[in-house]
Structure 1
């Protein structure tokens, strides 16, 4: 196999891993009937990987760490707009909803970036920790709140979602 084909296979692998990592996080959101799910977060992660790959390697030219850093900053700044779209405020109860879902947009982008950079361990570990937190974070938080405050979690804080 030629070096060019090996590089192309590596790029496809990075794009697939980014997409799968984003989809795994999105599946959790789908299971909990949240506004952003598997396809959306898969696309966010894929888009991040595409941008980081195109920003770091183009026709064999490798850009320096400065250029890659600027690409990462641009992605994470731009993702704020997508995340902001899922944050809602209930005017009657002064609750904010969707912050967790907005955070999953940001983490899916970060997982896409790490996969795009070929940082495999960080991508897999980040996906695992994200899924752990999304799956077990609320029960652990509720238990700690009961233990430390002597009460259940107040529903009016409204920061989940």
Structure 2
């Protein structure tokens, strides 16, 4: 009995039931964050967040308890935080894969941050900080869901879009394109052209036609209106948004 009590009181010992509880808790908490990202159709969704949280929890368990047999060995120094620090660095590279840049518009930063904080939640569960991990999960869900709705309501920000227009090469048409963008509430940041003689020009260009690339800052709600306005101009054959 004394031997069993000594084992249980050993800070380097953890039972199989405790391991199971922590791994399942990490999967549930990571899944809650991933579910919100999946519902919003982001690159990193349900399975990604579960895997990140579960893997981080396992790494923390391994870091604390996986080398318990070597604790009392001479010239051996056990550092429970070493693998945890490596997890944070590794997840940073994973989160960077969700960040995309289109022109001056950068997307995926929030998803990258959610992957990073999910890894931190997994580390917390692995270390036995259930309360901190659960509260952090609730705060993350509040930030991702509630604050997102508040942000969209208070700050209707414009994002940059690339619009490709196939037009006839005629005088005055470029000014009409600019005016159409302004009428839709957009800001024309840059305009560039390609004709049929350019090597990178679209194959659909015909004689005396141009491909016009419009870099426009625009509200999402005005995208369809702008495309319809561009397509309705005389001399415009096609307009698409990328």
TM-score bracket, normalised by the shorter chain, equals 0.7 to 0.9
- Which of 114, 117, 142 is the aligned partner of 1:104? 114
State how far apart, in whole Å, the 2-side matches of 1:86 and 1:143 are. Answer: 25
Quote how far apart the aligned CAs of 1:72 are. 1.7
Quote how far apart the aligned CAs of 1:62 are. 8.4
- What's 1:148 paired with? none
| TM-score (normalised: structure 2) | 0.55
**Are 2:147 and 1:137 aligned?**
yes
| TM-score (normalised: structure 1) | 0.81
State how far apart, in whole Å, the 2-side matches of 1:20 and 1:122 are. Answer: 15
Contact 1:56 1:62 in 2 (8 A): no
Q: For each residue in 1:4-45, what CA deviation from the matched residue of structure 2 results, as whole angstroms up to 9, or x when unmatched?
A: 8x7110011001111111111000011000011111110000
Contact 2:57 2:126 in 1 (8 A): yes
Summarize the Cα distance change of 1:104–1:17 in structure 2 as closer, same or farther, 3 Å threshold: same
**Are 2:83 and 1:79 aligned?**
no
**Matched residue count:** 147
Greater fraction of residues in helix: 1
Q: For each residue in 1:49-94, what CA deviation from the matched residue of structure 2 results, as whole angstroms up to 9, or x when unmatched?
A: 111101100264486xx7222222110011111101111111xx32
**Are 2:163 and 1:155 aligned?**
no
Contact 2:63 2:84 in 1 (8 A): no
Greater fraction of residues in strand: 2
**Helix, strand or coil: the match of 1:89?**
strand
- What's 1:51 paired with? 59
Highest Rg: 1 or 2?
2
State how far apart, in whole Å, the 2-side matches of 1:59 and 1:153 are. Answer: 51
**Are 2:119 and 1:126 aligned?**
no
**Are 2:82 and 1:70 aligned?**
yes
Larger relative contact order (Cα-Cα within 8 Å, sequence gap ≥ 6): 1
Contact 1:49 1:113 in 2 (8 A): yes
Summarize the Cα distance change of 1:59–1:155 in structure 2 as closer, same or farther, 3 Å threshold: closer
Instruction: Structure 2: give runs of 5+ residues left out of the alignment.
Output: 9-13, 72-77, 161-216, 218-242
Moved over 3 A (4+): 59-63, 142-145, 154-157
- Which of 5, 15, 18 is the aligned partner of 1:10? 18
Instruction: Structure 1: give runs of 5+ residues left out of the alignment.
Output: 146-151
